[in-house]
Amino acid sequence: MPDIHARKRDGVPIVMITAYDATFTRLVDACDVDIVLVGDSLGMVMQGRDHTLEVTVDDMIYHARCVRRALRCAHMTVDMPFMSYQVSPEKALENAGRLVKEGGAASVKLEGGARVVPAIEALVAAGIPVMGHLGLTPQSVHAFGGFKVQAREEAEAQRLREEALMLQDAGCFSMVLEGIPAPLATEVSASLSIPTIGIGAGNGCDGQVLVMQDLLGLDDNFKPKFVKRYAELADTVRDAFSEYAREVRSRAFPGKEHTFKAKKRKSKDAGLRPVDEPEAGPSSGSDEPRRRGYGPA
């Protein structure tokens, strides 16, 4: 956490990426990313829901543990899911404690301004670092009437400026600014001593975050304005699956190099088949369907 603070002082933007499993976390962790966020966006990306509201603390712990096991360098922040911190500061502390103890979180993130200040204070008092989250807070999707850019009107922008200061005063070590006009995000970032991490909030934040599947281009149907695709993996993955299916159907896969041999036989019929002949199936490189058979060659 102190290192993350130092980034703002030194003017080095903070890099945050979401992750939900061990395989991708290993890849992220090898790439000098500062923070891995186990986001409640997993409700959409992993669970296929339309929003994040049904994600549970147990879901968050499950994915946090998957990520934790693969993580060596980066700081791991875990989202507090909807209704795990709204009821009371006591409930919030209990649930944040589970994310730390069972999930291995180094810090937790929760959405909202003034109304979550008591919860943030309880967590910070217990030694749990808290990241705030303002603007297009996805857990308020129904209140917003969709995932819509927030604080475009001056009254709302003023409210956000005030709430950013409240979160800082409550002890947040950083905060996400999501889906707000860039000039507002830049201004808020300059007004705070803690770093802001933007998503759809322009280039004036102290860091950026993207959902991993978005930046990898894994979902053709999700292309909001704020996402930049650094790869088009959906195409690559589909090509690989299709090629695999073709090769299975043509018996080109598995080839000789993917196939196990039996141990050398000592019995007198050992000579019936050369020992380097595959035990079963066709050899590689042939597109021709081959006759099945396990008998002597």
Ligand X SMILES: CC(C)C(=O)C(=O)O
Q: Give the residues across from 198 on adjacent strands.
A: 177, 208
From candidates 71, 164, 211, 218, binder to ligand X by CB under 6 A: 211
Under the phi-then-psi rule, with left for phi > 0, alpha for psi from -120 to 50, and beta for the rest, what region is 213?
alpha
- Give residue for tokens 């919030």: 92
Q: Which residue has the tokens 């030694």?
A: 127
When asked if residue 164 is in the footprint of ligand X (CB under 6 A), the reply is no
| Residue spans of beta strands (DSSP E) within 32-139 | 35-38, 75-79, 107-109, 130-135
Q: What are phi and psi of 175, to 5 degrees?
A: -155, 145
Q: Does 138 bind ligand MHF (CB under 6 A)?
A: yes
Helix or strand or coil: residue 127? coil
Q: Does 144 bind ligand MHF (CB under 6 A)?
A: no
Q: Which residues inside 18-47 make contact with Mg ion, applying CB under 5 A?
A: 39-40
Annotated active-site residue in 54, 102, 154, 178: 178
Residues 98, 61: contact at Cβ < 8 Å? yes
In single-letter form, the type of residue at position 74 comes to: A
Nearest of 119, 116, 62 to residue 94 by alpha carbon: 119
59 binds Mg ion (CB under 5 A): no
By CB under 6 A, residue 137 contacts ligand MHF: no
Give min distance, CB of 254 to ligand MHF, in A. Answer: 35
Is 44 an interacting residue with respect to ligand MHF (CB under 6 A)? yes
Cα(111)–Cα(132) distance, rounded to whole angstroms?
A: 6
Is 214 near ligand X (CB under 6 A)? no
Q: Which stretch binds ligand MHF (CB under 6 A): 61-69, 91-99, 144-152, 280-288?
A: 144-152
Q: CB under 8 Å to 256, separation ≥6 — which residues?
A: 278, 283, 284
Q: Which residues contact 170 (CB under 8 A, 6 or more apart)?
A: 117, 120, 121, 124, 130, 132
Question: Do 29 and 74 meet the contact criterion of CB atoms below 8 Å apart?
Answer: yes
Q: Tokens for 69, please give them.
A: 């096991």
Binding partner at 209 among Mg ion, ligand X, ligand MHF, none, C-beta below 5 to 8 Å by kind: ligand X
Q: Which is nearer to ligand MHF, 136 or 185 (CB)?
A: 136
**How many residues lie near ligand X (CB under 6 A)?**
11
Indicate whether 18 belongs to the interface with ligand X (CB under 6 A): yes
In angstroms, give the least distance from the CB of 211 to ligand X: 5
Largest CA distance in the chain: 92
- Min CB(294)–ligand MHF separation in Å: 48
Binding to ligand X by residue 76, rule CB under 6 A? no
Q: Is 110 in the site for ligand X (CB under 6 A)?
A: no
CA distance 164 to 78: 20
Taking CB under 6 A as the criterion, the residue among 35, 61, 130, 211 binding ligand MHF is 211
At its nearest, how many Å lie between ligand X and the CB of residue 45? 8
- Whether 178 is catalytic is yes
Q: From the annotation, which residues make up the binding site for 3-methyl-2-oxobutanoate?
A: 40-41, 79, 109
Residue positions annotated with a catalytic role: 178
Residues of the shown chain interacting with Mg ion in the complex, contacts defined by CB under 5 A:
39-40, 79
Residues of the shown chain interacting with ligand MHF in the complex, contacts defined by CB under 6 A:
41, 44-45, 52, 136, 138, 147-149, 179, 200, 211, 213-214, 222, 224-226
